[in-house]
Amino acid sequence: MMLPFVKLLFTAFAYSITNFLYITAVLMAFVNVKRNAGLEEEWLGFSRDSTKNMLLSSMLGGMLAGLGLSFLITGLGIVVDMNALMLIWGLAMLFMLATNRGMGFAYAAGIVSLSNLILGWPDTDPASITALTGILYLAESLLTMTDGSSGALPVVVRHKRYSPAGAYVSNKLWPVPLVMLVPSLPGQAGSGGISMPEWWPLLSGGSTTGAFGLVYMAALLFYQDMAVTAPAKQRTRDAGFFLCAYSLVVLILAVAADALYVMKYAAALLTPVLYWLVTFLLRRGIELGTPIYTPPWRGLRVLAVYPESPGSSMGIRPGDILLNLNGKAINSEEMLKTELNGSPTYIWIDISRNGSKMTLDHRDYRNGIADIGLVFVPRKTGHYYSFGGNDKKNTLFRKLLSGRGKSI
């Protein structure tokens, strides 16, 4: 019966949130949230949400992902040696600290798998490591598609095709508690006394001992990207789709590696190489594409609309071009402020959306309208968001490749 195992896993998962590794992951998520809040205050003048709410949202997403991952990993019988797990975790953490681009599970898994195949250490199965990597990236792809664009920050960037250009920066980090299977040591209690289905475990290479123990682990699933050539939601959907396709290929490699020894080498090499290729192609698309948020010849291009603002009530969207306010042409933010200086109680705005013109209006007879709550793409600015700092060539691709975000 599976019921005892399910109860055991739920109990273990409840304890996993008190694990030192998970607490460390939460602290790193807190640092990331604080950094995001600081950037929002710098670019928008205020933080759109509290640090507490942003952290709790990140933790909730991570816990849901962790619960699903724990059932999937243990349910399929993916068993990884404890030494291998700690080595992968350490290498992935070092990669994140060195590049600020998330935990490099793909690279760490490739290194540990090759170490096992060439040196015989750690004593684990490369097929199981590959399967674990594929499942982690599958969860990351789902989180990216569902939550990657939430809280995306509107900024201004330099782009080789157009500068300045508006963009949206996403910087999400989810701390994920995990319960995983490891081979039990001689004389150590394991899960071997619990009845499991005949097909379990799925990967035979990780089940040579016949007895298993549950351990608490944690992961940091990370999405850092910039939407320049597509809206933020579309960009996260595209990134999540490519990452999902990668994870499925890796899982196929894991099954093949479990069946054929030579495929263990292929899995160890292709897992990091294919991940690098996916990230390279996504960033290359930004460099070669055309920005969608650029200053128009006439009017003001909307980059962002504040929630619960007059602009939001009127139905103005990012990408719209504000042409006229109360019949007067608007070509700069200064002209807009001048027209709103007296806090009129009723305004109508002519906008252009995808080549079609329309008129929207708003009224506030009690307080007047001093601000419509829009962020525009500037025609000129000395304030840019950079992923790569002030290198000489300073292309957007180099900024994304280096993975650091700051204003210059």
Percentage of residues in the chain having pLDDT higher than 70: 87
Report the alpha-carbon distance of residue 9 to residue 393 in Å, rounded: 52
Q: Is the pLDDT of residue 211 over 90?
A: no
Predicted local confidence at residue 331, as pLDDT: 95
pLDDT interval class at 196 (50, 70, 90): low
Span 87-146, pLDDT tens digits: 999 999 888 878 766 778 999 999 999 999 999 999 889 999 999 999 999 999 999 999
Count of Cβ atoms closer than 10 Å to residue 199 Cβ: 8
Predicted local confidence at residue 210, as pLDDT: 58
Q: Is the pLDDT of residue 404 over 50?
A: no
Per-residue DSSP letter, 77: T
Report the alpha-carbon distance of residue 63 to residue 177 in Å, rounded: 6
Predicted local confidence at residue 2, as pLDDT: 65
pLDDT interval class at 156 (50, 70, 90): very high
Distances (CA, A) of 379 to 161, 215, 373: 15, 55, 19
Report the alpha-carbon distance of residue 54 to residue 37 in Å, rounded: 9
| Residues ≥6 apart with Cβ < 8 Å to 34 | 51
Report the alpha-carbon distance of residue 93 to residue 162 in Å, rounded: 36
| Residues ≥6 apart with Cβ < 8 Å to 11 | none
What's the rounded mean pLDDT across residues 301-309?
A: 95
Average pLDDT, the chain: 88
Predicted local confidence at residue 205, as pLDDT: 58
In the Cβ-directed half-sphere of 314, how many Cα atoms lie within 13 Å? 28
What's the rounded mean pLDDT across residues 278-304?
A: 94
Give the tokens for residue 36. Answer: 């995001």
Give the tokens for residue 402. Answer: 């280096």
CATH 2.30.42.10 positions along the chain are 300-376
Q: Is the pLDDT of residue 401 over 60?
A: no
Predicted local confidence at residue 195, as pLDDT: 56
Q: Which CATH topology does 300-376 take? A: Pdz3 Domain (2.30.42)
Residue 176 phi, psi (nearest 5): -120, 115
Predicted local confidence at residue 3, as pLDDT: 75
Number of residues written out for the chain: 408
